[in-house]
Chain A
Amino acid sequence: MELKTKIDAADGQQDLTITREFELPVELLFKAYEEPAIVEQWMGTKVLKLENKKYGGFSFETTDPKGNTFGMSGTIHEFRQNESITRTFEMANSPFSVQLEFLQFESLSADTSKLTMHIIYKSNDHRDLMLKMGMTKGINMAHNRLQETVNKLK
């Protein structure tokens, strides 16, 4: 079976690409990135600020079961409705450096669409370390919360 979400991370490079095809019209896919209340649901985070415009800022906050909060924030450099978002992304109080993200939204048909996320890190080592973090609790916790949100919807 073909994987829905693909990661392309070439050896020795400082970037990676995440691609995913959705059974959603591109307008709805884009809306999931645009509307704070919807972002909160699928990212499993609180949205403190989301200014969808050139040089607008965004700020998210996640709280784990112990009450520890994790902040994520950045600046939006380009915001083209149903087409693309270019932004920086940074995790507060973490050793990770800021990363640059190019999000491209494409319509495949009236009911399907594709998202391509190109992420550029400070160095190859930073990228690899970030990939390895996919295994650790801080990030998985956000994902568990997501699972709960989805289960509630079913």
Chain B
Amino acid sequence: MNLRRDVFQAIADPTRRAILLLVASQAMTAGAIAANFNTARPTVSKHLQILTECELLEQKQTGREIHYHINAKKMREVADFIEPFRKLWDDRFNALETIMKTYQAKKKD
């Protein structure tokens, strides 16, 4: 349960979301990731640590360098996340339906 909340917190931060999207395109070193942000390097390191701890990112040694990869398996654990997304659209569409029914009723008056 805790782990899931951690994943949620991890992706709630805009810098961490940006990091995930960067690494989603290609595996990168911490330095290459940091070069994309104006934030201080230790701040980026902290974000990378959090993302690695909740298993959204994986570290892989390539020669002397450590590359960060997206953990595809973790990212694919979408099922739990679909429901809030569905609820968001369901609420929107319910509003649309209510508004248009009112609109239709007014027109008939």
Seen from chain A, the residues whose Cβ lies within 8 Å of a Cβ on chain B are 3-7, 9, 11-12, 18, 20, 22-24, 28-29, 31-32, 38, 41-44, 94-97, 115, 123-126, 128-129, 131-137, 139-140, 143, 146-147, 149-150, 153-154
A20 smallest CB distance to B (angstroms): 5
Please tell me if the beta carbons of A129 and B24 are within 8 angstroms of each other in the complex: yes
Nearest CB of A to B100, in Å: 5
| Interface locus among B12-20, B27-35, B40-48 | B12-20
Within 8 A of A (CB), among B63-109: 70, 72, 75-76, 78, 81-82, 84-104
| 5 cross-chain pairs, A with B, having the tightest CB-CB distances, nearest first | A134-B85, A125-B24, A5-B90, A95-B18, A42-B96
> Shortest beta-carbon distance, B10 to chain A, in Å?
10
A135 to B78, CA, bound (A): 12
Within the assembled complex, what's the spacing in Å between the Cα atoms of A41 and B78? 30
B interface, size bucket: 35 or more
Contacts A126-B21, A150-B94 known; list 4 others, CB within 8 Å.
A20-B89, A24-B97, A95-B14, A125-B75
CB contacts between A and B, total, < 8 Å:
131
Contacts of B85 in A (CB 8 A): 7, 131, 133-135
Asked if residues A132 and B78 are in contact (CB atoms below 8 Å), the reply is yes
Q: State the CA gap A137–B84 with chains docked (Å).
A: 12
Are B12 and A129 in contact, CB atoms less than 8 angstroms apart?
no
Residue in B closest to A38 when the chains form the complex, CB atoms: B99
A147 touches B91 (CB 8 A): yes
- Contact across chains for A146 and B103 when beta carbons are under 8 A apart: no
CB-defined A-B contacts under 8 Å, sample of 28: A3-B86, A4-B93, A4-B94, A6-B86, A7-B82, A7-B85, A22-B93, A22-B100, A28-B100, A28-B103, A29-B96, A29-B100, A42-B96, A42-B99, A125-B70, A125-B72, A128-B76, A129-B20, A129-B21, A129-B75, A132-B8, A132-B81, A133-B11, A135-B8, A140-B88, A143-B88, A143-B92, A146-B91
Give the Cβ gap from A68 to chain B, nearest Cβ, in Å: 12
B96 to chain A, nearest CB (A): 4
CA distance A147 to B99 in the complex (A): 12
